[in-house]
A and B are shown apart, each in its own frame.
Chain A
């Protein structure tokens, strides 16, 4: 899965940016600013918080460029800083009311997916809204896993939780979003049950 941070920059830009060349630094921002803002907006669900993350991330990037050794691609290094900034926002005591933690770990039955009575909304507009309406950690897991390609092990580590916690958050998120996900129509009765 390719990440939105998987972008290349012209030769020499990194070196010039390291040396403090503002034009080269602006070029880095032009390449990675939108992915950082997009990641933060999707993970945090609010543009003003994403703006904060964007600013803090690039301040860290500018500060840390001299120490960046190129062991990972530049975009992945910037992504790591941005994800950490998002998680710091989520952990902030300021947001404890609006970022309730869901620690459930039971397997989510498929019936929850199938039993929605809600009318299907306008799908072209509402996936974004559905994502924003998720609990923050579930939203973050969806984005990190399904868009940025993080594994459940990596997400668990980032969130100080287990891989199954990440799996469970992802499952619950999709159950909540099922009406936007293209629900199947009428289905035939299931075949005889099997053990999992």
Chain B
């Protein structure tokens, strides 16, 4: 019987492996070849360079850090923190709705609209901002009593977001770049779904009287 990959990785990493296995690998061209392949693979993975952070990353970190410090100074009461999150989402909504008017409140994804590749970075930034805003409410909203209808709406939205994520990931995995119109459309869908989810979450917090 051949060595398992786990055993070969153990040998590769000089971890304790039984003498029988060591002897077998020494005498078995297939296992020895696989061991060499594993060594080469580790080299190749370790040789991947670290990508550079986005050029404006430090500026954003400083800004976020200062915001966070201000919040700690002015909002020491937990309940007020929730109120601030809710207010932030409300303001965000107003801004986003002003920027991108939408018809109706149903959950359907907006039909495809041509999206310029240059917009994708903006969509990604919007998506990140919305996601963080909604997540900041999630911890509090999760403790609240929710109607079956609301719970179902939230679950449906989260599932749709996850499916869009899956498609984005698949596209990225198959080498499709962000300049691809389909990828841009997926990011647009993600932003719209997050807007809807944030609306539901905001309504939840508002209904709770916070």
Q: Which residues of A contact B33 (CB under 8 A)?
A: 114, 184, 187
* B161 CB, min distance to chain A CBs, angstroms: 7
Q: How far is the CA of A183 from the CA of B30 in the complex (A)?
A: 11
* Chain A binder among B21-29, B86-94, B104-112: B21-29
Instruction: Assess whether B61 is in contact with A55, with CB atoms less than 8 Å apart.
Output: yes
Instruction: Assess whether B45 is in contact with A109, with CB atoms less than 8 Å apart.
Output: no
B54 at interface by CB-CB < 8 Å: yes
Which B-chain residue is minimally distant from A26 (CB atoms)?
B58
Interface residue total, chain B, C-beta cutoff 8 A: 64
Near A by CB (< 8 A), chain B positions 16-63 give 18, 20-21, 23-24, 27-31, 33-34, 36-38, 40-42, 44-54, 57-58, 60-62
* B164 CB, min distance to chain A CBs, angstroms: 9
Instruction: Assess whether B5 is in contact with A97, with CB atoms less than 8 Å apart.
Output: no
A93 at interface by CB-CB < 8 Å: yes
For chains A and B in complex, what number of residue pairs have CB atoms within 8 angstroms?
Answer: 196
* Chain A binder among B6-14, B74-82, B201-209: B6-14
* A156 CB, min distance to chain B CBs, angstroms: 14
Which B-chain residue is minimally distant from A105 (CB atoms)?
B6
* B20 CB, min distance to chain A CBs, angstroms: 6
Contacts A38-B50, A97-B166, A142-B45 known; A190 to B5 CB distance under 8 Å? Answer: no
Contacts A29-B61, A51-B57, A194-B24 known; A174 to B31 CB distance under 8 Å? Answer: no
Q: Which residues of A contact B95 (CB under 8 A)?
A: none
Interface residues on A, range: 35 or more
Which A-chain residue is minimally distant from B36 (CB atoms)?
A184
Q: Kindly list the 6 A-B residue pairs having the minimum CB-CB distance in the complex, ordered from nearest.
A: A38-B50, A184-B33, A181-B41, A97-B162, A107-B4, A182-B40
Show 17 A/B contacts (Cβ-Cβ < 8 Å), sorted by A: A4-B50, A37-B51, A48-B128, A52-B128, A54-B53, A94-B135, A110-B3, A113-B34, A170-B9, A171-B4, A171-B5, A171-B9, A178-B37, A182-B41, A184-B36, A194-B20, A195-B20
Write the residues of chain A forming the contact surface with B, with a CB cutoff of 8 angstroms: 4, 22, 25-26, 29, 33-39, 41-42, 45-48, 50-52, 54-55, 58-59, 62-63, 92-98, 107-114, 123, 127-129, 131-133, 142-143, 146-147, 167-168, 170-172, 174-175, 177-178, 180-184, 187-191, 193-196
